[in-house]
């Protein structure tokens, strides 16, 4: 189930942030989580419940509630929207002013919870003189592993991120992509259940990006919850199972992108259809109740403006079967993360 909180109703109604009682509304995915590490409870992996964070008079986050489940969740918002605050609360670097942030039933800032969290910051703040291997080793030692276990874990994780053969060089000699890999390695070294990645694909070349996306998917498939904050929204289209949209400290919407898009009634979907007999199809489509407009782009292509996409799809399938119309391709033009984010921002501007 996805949640959508329009700016006007966020504080009072349907959104997750207004869920009654101490338990937050169920998250966007109900997939079963991975079995927790020994010694940890089987509590939900990550819960944000009515979380507020103030920095003196400045509001960082305002009444934010959601749950993270295994899979990849994208975090999208403008600069200053509250993404960093959310990430720092989630990784236990900050404590909420109100509300609770729990990882496996423990406060996120507790040592027990941090065992389950891996954090890959966006800053290039590694020690330049140190080798990548030594850096990951230090980070592993901070989790209390013995030196033998540390060595094994470090080698394994460097292998996973594809840095095993280059990790002895000083960090100062690394490219941006290699730095990202080392940062990812230090986040993975203690095999956390929740991985928080802040701009993990920045500076990574296309091949490296594909490799890292594949790695993220493998980790998600292995039952880990991954929160990816990224400005590269195209990547999130293909990478993320769910998206959290934040703006001015509030959670605007959360859930699978397609479901969020469906709920944005005020912004009709734009659908491009390629069909040999576009003119006839256009005429037939205009008769459908959910079609608001049809534009013939070229000889074989037309673009529709449609409300309530799901209902439209049903009616469209019926029409195609009934009339025997050939359809070569159907493509939703504005269901990308970027488009949805743009619509949400417009809704915010309209409401606020």
Partner 1 sequence: MTLEEIRYRGWSEQLTWSWLGWWPIARTGLLLVLRRKVFWIFLGLASLSFLFMFATIYLKAQLTTQNPGFRRFVDGILSNATGTGETYRDFMFAQGTVTMLLLAFAGATLVGDDIRTGGMAFYLARRIGRWHYLVGKLLSVGFLVSLTTTLPALVLYFEYGLLTDSIEYFRDNWTILRGILGYGLTLAAVLSCLLFALASWLPRTVPLVMAWVGVFLLLPATGEMLRDATGSRMWLLLSLWRDVRLIGTWCFGAAGQPRELELLYPSMIVAAAVCVLSIAAVLPRLRATRVVP
Q: Based on the shown chain and the rule CB under 8 A, indicate whether residue 93 belongs to the binding site for partner 1.
A: yes
Q: Based on the shown chain and the rule CB under 8 A, indicate whether residue 92 belongs to the binding site for partner 1.
A: yes
Give residues with Cβ within 8 angstroms of 71, minimum separation 6.
Answer: 29, 31, 220, 225, 226, 241, 242
The smaller minimum CB distance to partner 1, of residues 18 and 93, is found at 93
The smaller minimum CB distance to partner 1, of residues 135 and 312, is found at 135
Q: Find the binder of partner 1 among 13, 58, 266, 283 (CB under 8 A).
A: 58
| Distance separating alpha carbons of residues 250 and 252, to the nearest angstrom | 6
For 170-223, give the DSSP string: BGGG--HHHHHHHHHHHHHTT--SEEEEESTTTT--HHHHHHHHHHHHHHHHTT
For 275-302, give the DSSP string: -TTHHHHHHHHHTSTTEEEEEEEETTEE
Q: Based on the shown chain and the rule CB under 8 A, indicate whether residue 249 belongs to the binding site for partner 1.
A: no
Element (H, E) at 245: strand 242-247
Structure-block tokens of residue 227: 């929160």
Structure-block tokens of residue 23: 């338990």
Query: Sign of dihedral through CA atoms 126, 132, 137, 140?
Result: positive
Q: Based on the shown chain and the rule CB under 8 A, indicate whether residue 94 belongs to the binding site for partner 1.
A: yes
Choose the binding region for partner 1 from 11-19, 75-83, 110-118, 250-258 (rule: CB under 8 A). Answer: 110-118
The smaller minimum CB distance to partner 1, of residues 91 and 254, is found at 91
The smaller minimum CB distance to partner 1, of residues 88 and 153, is found at 88
| Distance separating alpha carbons of residues 313 and 41, to the nearest angstrom | 43
Closest distance to partner 1 from the beta carbon of 216 (Å): 18
Q: Based on the shown chain and the rule CB under 8 A, indicate whether residue 55 belongs to the binding site for partner 1.
A: yes
Q: Find the binder of partner 1 among 6, 29, 180, 186 (CB under 8 A).
A: 186
The smaller minimum CB distance to partner 1, of residues 143 and 308, is found at 143
Core vs surface per residue 123-161: b (16+ CB within 10 A) or e: eeebeeebbbbbbbbebbeebebeeeebeebbeebbebb
CA separation, residue 259 to residues 1, 107, 300 (Å): 8, 31, 29
Q: Based on the shown chain and the rule CB under 8 A, indicate whether residue 43 belongs to the binding site for partner 1.
A: no
Q: Based on the shown chain and the rule CB under 8 A, indicate whether residue 59 belongs to the binding site for partner 1.
A: no
| Distance separating alpha carbons of residues 47 and 22, to the nearest angstrom | 11
Structure-block tokens of residue 13: 């109604």
Quick check: helix, strand or coil at residue 130? coil
Q: Find the binder of partner 1 among 11, 111, 210, 317 (CB under 8 A).
A: 111
| Distance separating alpha carbons of residues 264 and 267, to the nearest angstrom | 6
DSSP conformational letter for 323: H
Q: Find the binder of partner 1 among 115, 133, 179, 209 (CB under 8 A).
A: 115
Number of residues that bind partner 1 (CB under 8 A): 38
The smaller minimum CB distance to partner 1, of residues 7 and 118, is found at 118
Q: Based on the shown chain and the rule CB under 8 A, indicate whether residue 352 belongs to the binding site for partner 1.
A: no
Q: Closest by alpha carbon to 212, among 306, 120, 274, 139?
A: 120
Choose the binding region for partner 1 from 86-94, 213-221, 232-240, 307-315 (rule: CB under 8 A). Answer: 86-94
Closest distance to partner 1 from the beta carbon of 119 (Å): 4
Element (H, E) at 4: strand 3-4
Per-position x/- string for 117-136, each x denoting binding to partner 1 as judged by CB under 8 A, each - no binding: x-x-x-xxxxx-xx---x--
Q: Find the binder of partner 1 among 14, 37, 52, 107 (CB under 8 A).
A: 107
The smaller minimum CB distance to partner 1, of residues 85 and 254, is found at 85
Q: Which residues on neighbouring strands pair with residue 302, listed in sequence order?
A: 273, 296
The smaller minimum CB distance to partner 1, of residues 186 and 262, is found at 186
Q: Based on the shown chain and the rule CB under 8 A, indicate whether residue 144 belongs to the binding site for partner 1.
A: yes
Q: Find the binder of partner 1 among 50, 67, 83, 88 (CB under 8 A).
A: 88
Chain residues that interact with partner 1, rule: CB under 8 A: 55-56, 58, 60, 84-85, 88, 91-95, 98, 107, 109-112, 114-115, 117, 119, 121, 123-127, 129-130, 134, 138-139, 141-144, 186
């Amino acid at each position: 189930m996805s949640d959508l909180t329009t700016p006007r109703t966020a504080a009072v109604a349907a959104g997750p942030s207004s869920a009654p009682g101490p338990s937050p509304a169920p998250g966007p995915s109900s997939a079963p989580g991975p079995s927790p590490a020994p010694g940890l409870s089987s509590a939900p992996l990550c819960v944000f419940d009515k979380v507020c964070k103030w920095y003196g008079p400045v509001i960082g986050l305002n009444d934010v509630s959601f749950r993270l489940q295994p899979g990849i969740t994208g975090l999208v918002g403008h600069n200053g929207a509250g993404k960093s605050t959310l990430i720092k609360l989630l990784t236990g670097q900050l404590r909420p002013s109100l509300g609770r942030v729990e990882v496996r039933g423990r406060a996120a800032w507790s040592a027990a919870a941090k065992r389950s969290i891996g954090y890959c910051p966006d800053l290039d703040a590694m020690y330049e003189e140190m080798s990548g291997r030594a850096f990951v080793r230090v980070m592993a030692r901070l989790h209390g592993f013995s030196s033998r276990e540390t060595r094994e874990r470090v080698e394994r994780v460097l292998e996973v991120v594809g840095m095993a053969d280059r990790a002895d060089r000083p960090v100062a000699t690394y490219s941006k992509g290699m730095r990202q890999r080392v940062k990812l390695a230090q986040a993975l070294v203690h095999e956390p259940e929740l991985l928080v990645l802040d701009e993990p694909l920045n500076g990574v070349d296309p091949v490296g990006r594909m490799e890292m996306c594949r790695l993220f998917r493998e980790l998600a498939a292995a039952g880990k919850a991954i929160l990816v904050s990224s400005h590269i929204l195209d990547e999130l289209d293909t990478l993320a199972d769910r998206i959290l949209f934040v703006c001015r400290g509030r959670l605007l919407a959360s859930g699978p992108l397609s479901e969020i898009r469906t709920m944005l009634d005020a912004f009709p979907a734009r659908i491009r259809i390629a069909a040999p007999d576009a003119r006839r199809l256009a005429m037939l489509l205009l008769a459908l109740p959910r079609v608001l407009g049809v534009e013939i782009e070229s000889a074989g292509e037309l673009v529709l403006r449609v409300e309530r996409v799901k209902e439209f799809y049903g009616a469209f399938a019926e029409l195609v079967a009934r009339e025997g119309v050939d359809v070569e391709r159907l493509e939703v033009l504005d269901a990308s993360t970027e488009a949805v984010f743009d619509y949400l921002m417009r809704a915010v501007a309209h409401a606020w």
